[in-house]
Amino acid sequence: MKKIIFLILLISFCNFLLLPQQASAQDTTKTKEKRKNNTIKGIIGIDPFSFSGIASLGYERYISANSSLNITANVLLADNGGYGGESSSSTESIILSYNYYIISRDRIINNFWFGTYLLGMKTSGSDEYRESKENGYGIGLYLGKRMYFSHIKKRMFFDIGLGISYNYFKYTYYYSSMYNDSTGQFIINTELPKPYYSLYPRPILLLGYRF
C-alpha cells in the first residue's frame, strides 16, 4: 500500500515538474507559428518603366495559409533632361493589397500569387517653364511568384511580379511660364488642367524576410 501511495506521489510530482516545460513548449510553438505570419520586404533600385530611382518598404500579414494583407510605401525620384532643359519629378505612393498564394507540390506553380490592390499617390514635377502637383487614386491587379532562398527554413525570399492599375489623377497645383516672341513678354498660366485617367504599370522586385 505504501509503495502504491509513493508511486502516485512520484507521478504527481513529475507531472508538476513537467507542466511548465510543456506549457513553455506549446508557447514556443505558438510563437514560431505566429512569427511565420509576418513578412517585411523592400528594395532600393531603378524602376524599369520610368527609369526612376525607387525605394520601397512593405509589411505583409498572413490571414490564412493561402492569403495575406499588405501595405507598401514607395518613393520614385527622377532627374533628367526634359522639354526646356533639366526636369525632375517625384512620386510617393501607399498601396493596400490582398494576395492569394497557390500552394502545390509542383515547384513551378508553388508560391505563385495573384491579387488586387488600392493605390493612392502624390506626384510633382518641374522643368524650366512648368511646375505641377497631382493626387492620384487607383485600383489594380497583379501577379507574381515568391522564391525562397531555402525550401526548408523559408525565411529569406524574392517576390517577382507585375501589376497594372487604372488611375484617376487630379491637379492640385499648376504653373507655367512661356515667352511670347510677338509681345516680348512671358505668359503666365496658373489654371489647373482637367483631371484625367491613365494606366499605371507596377513592376515588382522585392527582397523579403518572413518571421
- Look at residues 41, 12, 6, 21 and name the one whose alpha carbon lies nearest to residue 208: 41
C-beta of residue 142 within 8 angstroms of C-beta of residue 204: yes
Domain assignment of residue 128, yes or no: yes
pLDDT at 81: 56
pLDDT at 78: 85
- Look at residues 103, 119, 121 and name the one whose alpha carbon lies nearest to residue 111: 103
Tell me the pTM: 0.76
Range of the domain at 160: 37-210
Q: What is the pLDDT of residues 147-161, one digit of tens each?
A: 999 877 789 999 999
Domain assignment of residue 32, yes or no: no
Which grid cell is 113? Answer: 500569387
Domain assignment of residue 18, yes or no: no
Domain assignment of residue 29, yes or no: no
CA distances from 149 to 153, 158, 200 (A): 9, 8, 30
CA distance 22 to 34: 18
Element (H, E) at 209: strand 196-210
How many beta carbons lie within 10 A of that of residue 112, not counting itself? 17
> Among 55-64, 144-153, 170-179, 190-199, which is the least confidently predicted range?
144-153
Domain assignment of residue 173, yes or no: yes
CA neighbours within 13 Å on the CB side: how many for 159?
28
- Is 80 exceeded by the pLDDT of residue 115? yes
> Among 2-11, 90-99, 183-192, which is the least confidently predicted range?
2-11
Domain assignment of residue 5, yes or no: no
Domain assignment of residue 2, yes or no: no
Element (H, E) at 11: helix 2-35
Domain assignment of residue 16, yes or no: no
Stretch 171-175: mean pLDDT, rounded? Answer: 97
pLDDT band at 21 (very low <50, low <70, confident <90, very high): very low
Q: What does pLDDT average to over the chain? A: 83
CA distance 169 to 104: 40
CA distance 176 to 190: 7
What is the domain count for the chain?
1
- Is 70 exceeded by the pLDDT of residue 82? no
Q: What percent of the chain has pLDDT over 90?
A: 63
What's the CATH number where 148 sits? 2.40.160.20
Residue 34, SS3 per DSSP: helix
Element (H, E) at 204: strand 196-210
pLDDT at 55: 94
